[in-house]
Structure 1
Amino acid sequence: MKFRSLAIIGFIIAVILFISCKTHFETTKSDYKAVVSTANFNHGKNLVFSICAGCHYNRGLKKLAGNPMDDVPGIAGKVYSANLTQSKTNGIAPKYTDAQLKYLLKTGISRDGRFMSYMLRPNMADEDINDIIVFLRSDDPAVSAADTTVGLTHYSFIGKAYLGFKADPASYRSNVKRPSDNDPVALGRYLVDNVGCYHCHSKSLKSLNSINPEQTKGYLAGGATLKGEQGSEIAASNITPDKNTGIGNYTKADFRRALKDGRSPTRTLRPPMEKFDHLTDKEVDAIYAYLMTVPPKYHAVKHI
């Protein structure tokens, strides 16, 4: 019996050591500094509110101060999105160098070597990352210091084990360029990737392929279950151009209205679907142009 107990303790210690090794990685030694201008700030604000705000914008505080991540199963622990404000006690931005922020977005690796699976955007253009950093460093009210603690993340043993087994940082890609506005399909594909449309509108948040998004299971065919208002469950829509179960019958105007005003041809869209009113009309039209090239998939998603 004593030997068995020691064996169990040894196994637990081995698992803990494995998890620790799998979730801590080398960080950057770069001395990169963001280039600041008014144009960089304005574009960065649009990017942050299109890409980051869905998780990080706290409507009560009207700041990017973080929120409970209710879509994370309770068995994994309690998880909160990070405070992106200028708070020196709770915020990320004052604690990170520009190079560390860029590395985090590119690879998912934080300044202390932890892997943060939902942060990485390996295919994001360097110029867009530059502008996001410029905005996060600014004096905009949305990023002014919010010292109020929304909550502290605490993973359970099961949550840590899952992160350990799933930890897969992206390789750092340099000199990535944003597609030209004159190539709407390429720009739309880039935006679907980096705005994160495919995160929610595929089969599951647990099976995303951040390097090659189009290889994600059920890519854009919907079905992922998300938390809506008052904890209700919402199934994400099929946004492939299937005419029966997707958006194949949407006109460009229909799609623009859905994305920017929250109204589809048949219903009013509900949280967690945000209004993407910080995207330009050209960007929304580019997303539409790309989605119309995606292979249509018949997948009926029931909307409650």
Structure 2
Amino acid sequence: MKYKGLTVTSLILAIIVIISCKTHFETTKSDYKAVASTANFEHGKNLVFSICAGCHYNRGVKKFIGNPIHDVPGIAGKVYSANLTHSKTNGIAPKYSDAQLKYLLKTGISKDGRFMAYMLRPNMADEDINDIIVYLRSDDQAVSAADTTVGLTHYSLIGKAYLGFKGDPAPYKNGIKRPSGNDPVALGKYLVDNVGCYHCHSKSLKALNSITPEKTKGYLAGGATFKGAQGMEIAASNITPDKNSGIGSYTREDFRKAVKDGQSPTRKLKPPMEKFEYLSDKEVDAIYAYLITVPAKYHVVKHL
């Protein structure tokens, strides 16, 4: 079948190419520089291990050299998380200015204008981004130069089209403050957003609302699936306060043990649910304080 000299296949390919162009945007011209101190380094390390390690920390070599992302369908291409070490060959940090790193985290836009929908942290406080950058610039062993590469990301046309359908980058919001520890519910809500609890514990990674996380489909009610060991599918738990299918029967101590030790009252938790050892007890308690305030949703998630 032809339409004005073009085959249907050509039309489809043209549409895909047009959509894929949406993944390129203007980058920052800011001259922002991170401010470093010992306290900034320590806090930044805690943040990077709590937020970034799930994708970027390779446990085989104990460095942030990246990992293959198995949850991306093969038809979309091959995707690997970036090397965050000081490697001048493969590392991200040496190739980015502080301003570009901040812009990437806030908007999802890389220094070459590519839009990476899964990188968004538009609601992260400026002080936390500052400390993340300080740690990535540090001489800590986990981010010291490692030229090893696990692979280079290559999106197919279908993968690029999908990113185009994911919409526009997040707005660049400057001046965001981290909630005070004196308001545990506000701090917990902030951490659920920026540590990324809602990413995994909602309905699907494909339906996240990074601007207003609470509007995410199936917010915190679980069900998103991930590939575990030997390709086995792992389903994320319901962490709303429903007493029958969520964490409504958890005590604060139960929740702390699940998050920091990987042990719930009924079972040992499996990867990709990591042990969040770098979160303080106060932060974990704040997450719990927030979770018990969200609407309880009855959603039974089956675990193997």
TM-score range, shorter chain: over 0.9
Measure how far apart 1:6 and its partner are: 3.2
1:233–1:97 distance in 2 versus 1, CA, 3 Å: same
Partner of 1:107: 107
Q: In structure 2, what residue type is equivalent to 1:95?
A: K
Distance 2:302 2:9 in 1: 46
Structure 1 stretch 15-24 or stretch 87-96: which is displaced more? 15-24
Q: State the SS of the aligned residue for 2:226.
A: strand
Mapped pair 1:189 → 2:189: yes
Within-5 A mapping of 1:51-62: 51-62=51-62
Q: State the SS of the aligned residue for 1:263.
A: coil
Mapped pair 1:214 → 2:223: no
CA contact (8 A) 1:115 1:167 kept: no
Structure 1 stretch 177-186 or stretch 144-153: which is displaced more? 144-153
Within-5 A mapping of 1:130-141: 130-141=130-141
Q: Which consecutive residues of structure 1, in runs of 5 or more, have no partner in the other structure?
A: none
Partner of 2:198: 198
Runs of 4+ in structure 1 over 6 Å off: 1-4
Within-5 A mapping of 1:116-135: 116-135=116-135
1:143–1:7 distance in 2 versus 1, CA, 3 Å: same
Distance 1:160 1:17 in 2: 8
Partner of 1:150: 150
Distance 2:45 2:2 in 1: 60
Distance 1:168 1:73 in 2: 22
Q: Deviations over 1:9-39 (max 9, x none)?
A: 7525632541343010010000000000000
Q: Deviations over 1:233-269 (max 9, x none)?
A: 0110000000000000000000000000000000000
Distance 1:172 1:114 in 2: 15
Structure 1 stretch 178-187 or stretch 161-170: which is displaced more? 161-170
Distance 2:57 2:148 in 1: 14
Normalising by structure 2, we get a TM-score of 0.97
CA contact (8 A) 1:106 1:123 kept: yes
Measure how far apart 1:167 and its partner are: 3.3
Measure how far apart 1:7 and its partner are: 4.4
Within-5 A mapping of 1:146-295: 146-295=146-295
Measure how far apart 1:74 and its partner are: 1.3
Distance 1:193 1:2 in 2: 49
Q: In structure 1, what residue type is equivalent to 2:239?
A: I
Alignment identity in percent?
Answer: 82
Distance 1:16 1:234 in 2: 32
Q: State the SS of the aligned residue for 1:66.
A: coil
Normalising by structure 1, we get a TM-score of 0.97
Count matched residues: 304
Partner of 2:33: 33
Q: In structure 1, what residue type is equivalent to 2:161?
A: A
Q: State the SS of the aligned residue for 1:226.
A: strand
Partner of 2:64: 64
Distance 2:210 2:295 in 1: 19
Measure how far apart 1:73 and its partner are: 1.1
1:281–1:2 distance in 2 versus 1, CA, 3 Å: closer
Measure how far apart 1:112 and its partner are: 0.5
Distance 1:3 1:287 in 2: 56
Distance 1:237 1:301 in 2: 6
Q: State the SS of the aligned residue for 2:193.
A: helix
Q: State the SS of the aligned residue for 1:234.
A: strand
CA contact (8 A) 1:26 1:113 kept: yes
Measure how far apart 1:225 and its partner are: 0.8
1:303–1:187 distance in 2 versus 1, CA, 3 Å: same
